[in-house]
């Protein structure tokens, strides 16, 4: 009996200790909960020490290269940050002490001294100019709202700069109850702001029982969805519409600078949706000359009556044009003069786009040619025109291939046209195919993979001709372009055609009077093989060089197989 009583006393002591421990734990939890509640409900833990930048309801402050500046009611972003968020091709024109920036359908020029800005060729007064502090260039983004298509506001109380794209949808709502705005939907989350009944907010997204909002103070966080009322769309998304729905089917309609546009009245070209006549060329003074006249106006009328878009060529062809082209590319003023001429003609003649066909350029001007395209594109977009740029296969000669930055051109232009011909051109000292299937496919992969051109922006240009090669006994080699519709006339009747499955074309070889002749034939079968690549790689379409060289059935074949 005594032993049992002793055990009961020990148990009692142990029980008391457990009760005390439990009491301490409970009190501690209550204290923690109270502290957490106070912190959660009444203490805003993310008061901004520096100016925060909110772009399209996303806090990008952590990605800033430099701090945002606010001076005399103007908001400045560094050139590096503008490059990161708006214009990756923003450019300092050191020769003229100015900054050139492009975005969508605007090109703007703003200097370091005068309070003015030139937007799409028109000058406007501003309240600020470019600043340079500690070797950092800052631009007054408040002055550039129209350039970047944004609304911008600085909330001094919370040190927040709000930037909203006017092309994006925006929803607003009314708060129906006083509430805390939380940093997340977790049970324990810090309070980033408080909203009062009747205040407005921007609705960012709805996530079950919670709605993500932006408060009037510019803070982003979550509230319970039941307190959000009267949600309305205050701004609709502006959808971009393509001029050509589906694949482009373009044909170049070339004629010389001294000839008139061809008379196509009463004819149609089955399946095509774009014609590119030889309307424009640079002269020896670097001026843009037009070769339209009354015949060209009739050509445009014929094209539009048949539902074809007109994207005329702008060429720099001719001897001695390398230096002329270079002088234009190296001068901002000359580039702008050329662009203004192009825009003027596009409006005057009711064109639908432009095809830039600049060849034989200096390798060292590669970035400046890109600048020309960067500066031309927004001006064309402003008037609803399409910009297509012709380029050759990568990895060729300096003035024929390495003068193009395909990465930039493919990014900026609406369409990049790969001139997939002259694999062995007229100046080659070795006979070879004009456009072998394997060579075409290899280079297509380079455009898509190495240069990251979007597949639906890449157009494959195919030849409607082949070359008749002559190999003399002394080793001399010459190649003459033969239109597709005349190739069979050149081949003697007793010569057998041999199919080359790697090139996907027929080959013939024969001798006459001690001269060896070779032709890698471009015909319907070789054309079908190239069209299959367009479909396989989901390219933007096809272009054909040139009208008048084709067999009668070519257009039907393209239409059926594209």
* Predicted local distance difference test score (pLDDT) of residue 533: 98
d(CA 303, CA 361): 32
Is the model's pLDDT at 252 over the cut of 70?
A: yes
Unique residue bearing structure tokens 């925060």: 52
- Give the rounded percent of residues in the chain with a pLDDT score beyond 90: 88
Cα(557)–Cα(394) distance, rounded to whole angstroms?
Answer: 28
Task: Reduce the DSSP state of residue 357 to 3 states and report it.
Answer: strand
Tell me the backbone φ, ψ of residue 80, rounded to 5 degrees. -60, -40
From residue 194, alpha-carbon distances to 52, 80, 177 in Å are 18, 34, 11
pLDDT band at 143 (very low <50, low <70, confident <90, very high): very high
- Mean pLDDT to the nearest integer, 9-26: 67
Any idea which of 18-27, 323-332, 504-513 has the lowest mean pLDDT? 18-27
459-470 per-residue burial string, b: 16 or more CB within 10 A, e: under 16? bbbbbbbbbbbb
Q: What is the pTM of this model?
A: 0.91
Number of residues in the chain = 562
Q: What is the DSSP letter of 66?
A: S
| Topology, domain 52-155 | Copper Amine Oxidase; Chain A, domain 1 (3.30.457)
Q: What was the pLDDT predicted at 317?
A: 85
How much is the mean pLDDT over the chain?
Answer: 93
Is the fold of 52-155 the same as that of 169-235? no
The pLDDT score that the predictor gives to residue 25 is 63
DSSP string computed for 155-172 = ETTTTEEEEEETTS-EEE
| CATH number, domain 248-462+522-561 | 3.20.20.80
Q: Residue 182's beta-bridge partner residues?
A: 191, 222
The band of 32, judged by pLDDT with boundaries at 50, 70 and 90, is low
3-state helix, strand, coil in the chain (%, to 5): 30, 30, 40
pLDDT of 552 strictly over 80: yes
Question: Can you give the pLDDT at residue 48?
Answer: 81
Query: For 459-488, how does the pLDDT look when each residue is reduced to its tens digit (9 = 90+)?
Result: 999 999 999 999 998 889 999 999 999 999
Residues 6+ apart with CB under 8 A from 182: 189, 190, 191, 192, 221, 222, 223
Confidence of residue 11 (pLDDT cuts 50, 70, 90): low
> What pLDDT score does 1 carry?
42
Q: What is the pLDDT of residue 318?
A: 78
Identify whether the C-beta of residue 527 lies closer than 8 Å to the C-beta of residue 557: yes
Spatial distance between the Cα atoms of 261 and 255, rounded to a whole number of angstroms: 7
Among residues 80, 121, 165, the alpha carbon closest in space to that of 375 is found at: 121
The values of phi and psi at residue 4, to 5°, are -65, -40
Which comes out higher in pLDDT, residue 262 or 22?
Answer: 262
pLDDT beyond 70 at 3: no
Q: Residue 5: is its pLDDT beyond 60?
A: no
pLDDT value at 140 more than 70:
yes
Q: Give the whole-number percent of the chain exceeding pLDDT 70.
A: 92
Res. 12: pLDDT tops 90: no
Q: 66-88: per-residue pLDDT in tens?
A: 999 999 999 999 999 999 999 99
Instruction: Answer whether residue 4 shows pLDDT above 50.
Output: no
How would you write 506-530 as a 3-class SS string? EEEEEEECCEEEEEECCCHHHHHHH
Q: In the structure, what pLDDT confidence band is assigned to residue 511 with cuts at 50, 70 and 90? A: very high
On the question of pLDDT at 425 being above 80, the answer is: yes
Q: Is the pLDDT of residue 436 over 50?
A: yes
- Mean pLDDT over 442-457 rounds to 98
Q: Give the separation between CA 293 and CA 448, rounded to whole angstroms.
A: 40
Q: What is the pLDDT of residue 42?
A: 46
CATH number of 169-235: 2.30.30.40
Q: What ranges do the domains of the chain cover?
A: 52-155, 169-235, 248-462+522-561
What pLDDT was estimated at residue 466?
Answer: 98
Laid out side by side, the sheet with 541-545 consists of 288-290, 280-282, 313-315, 353-357, 386-391, 415-419, 458-463, 541-545, 248-253, 274-277, 309-310
User: 541 pLDDT band (50/70/90 cuts)?
Assistant: very high
Using one digit for the tens of pLDDT, what is the confidence trace for 37-51? 544 444 454 578 899
């Amino acid at each position: 009996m005594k032993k049992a009583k002793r055990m009961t006393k020990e148990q009692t002591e142990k029980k008391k200790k457990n009760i005390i421990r439990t009491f301490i734990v409970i009190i501690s939890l209550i204290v923690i909960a109270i502290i957490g509640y106070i912190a959660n409900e009444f203490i805003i833990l993310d008061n901004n020490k520096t100016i925060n930048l909110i772009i399209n309801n996303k806090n990008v402050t952590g990605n800033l290269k430099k701090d945002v500046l606010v001076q005399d009611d103007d908001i400045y972003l560094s050139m590096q940050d503008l490059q990161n968020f708006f214009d990756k091709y923003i450019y300092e024109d050191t020769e003229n002490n100015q900054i050139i920036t492009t975005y969508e359908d605007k090109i703007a020029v703003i200097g370091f001294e005068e309070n003015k800005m030139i937007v799409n060729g028109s000058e406007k007064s501003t309240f600020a100019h470019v600043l340079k502090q500690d070797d950092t260039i800052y631009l007054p983004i408040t002055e550039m709202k129209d350039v970047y298509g944004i609304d911008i506001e600085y909330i001094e109380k919370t040190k927040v700069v709000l930037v909203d794209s006017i092309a994006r949808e925006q929803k607003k709502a009314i708060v129906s109850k006083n509430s805390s705005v939380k940093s997340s939907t977790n049970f324990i989350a810090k309070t980033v702001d408080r909203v009062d009944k009747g205040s407005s907010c921007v609705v960012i997204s709805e996530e079950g029982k919670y709605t993500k909002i932006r408060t009037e103070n510019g803070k982003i966080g979550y509230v319970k969805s039941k307190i959000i009322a009267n949600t309305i769309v205050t701004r609709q998304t502006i959808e971009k519409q393509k001029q050509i729905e589906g694949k482009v089917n373009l044909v170049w309609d070339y004629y010389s600078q001294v000839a008139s546009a061809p008379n196509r009245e009463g004819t149609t070209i089955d399946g095509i949706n774009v014609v590119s006549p030889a309307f424009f060329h640079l002269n020896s003074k670097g001026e843009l000359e037009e070769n339209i006249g009354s015949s060209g106006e009739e050509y445009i009328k014929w094209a539009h009556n048949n539902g074809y878009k007109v994207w005329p060529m702008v060429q720099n062809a001719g001897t001695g044009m390398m230096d002329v082209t270079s002088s234009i590319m190296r001068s901002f003023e000359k580039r702008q003069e050329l662009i203004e001429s192009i825009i003027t003609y596009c409006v005057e003649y009711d064109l639908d786009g432009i095809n830039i066909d600049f060849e034989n350029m200096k390798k060292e001007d590669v970035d400046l040619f890109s600048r020309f395209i960067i500066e031309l594109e927004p001006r064309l977009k402003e008037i609803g025109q399409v910009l297509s740029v012709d380029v050759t296969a990568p990895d060729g000669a300096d003035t024929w291939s390495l003068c193009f930055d395909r990465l930039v051109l493919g990014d900026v232009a609406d369409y990049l046209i790969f001139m997939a011909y002259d694999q062995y051109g007229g100046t080659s000292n070795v006979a070879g195919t004009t456009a072998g299937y394997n060579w075409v496919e290899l280079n297509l992969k380079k455009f898509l993979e190495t240069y990251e051109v979007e597949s639906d922006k890449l157009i494959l240009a195919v030849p409607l001709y082949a070359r008749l090669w002559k190999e003399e006994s002394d080793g001399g080699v010459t190649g003459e372009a033969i239109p597709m519709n005349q190739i069979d006339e050149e081949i003697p009747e007793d010569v057998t055609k041999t199919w080359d499955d790697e090139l996907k074309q027929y080959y013939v070889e024969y001798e006459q009077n001690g001269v060896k002749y070779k032709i890698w034939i471009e015909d319907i079968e070789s054309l079908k093989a190239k069209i299959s690549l367009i479909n396989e790689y989901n390219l933007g379409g096809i272009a054909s060089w040139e009208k008048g060289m084709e067999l009668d059935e070519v257009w039907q074949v393209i239409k059926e197989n594209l």
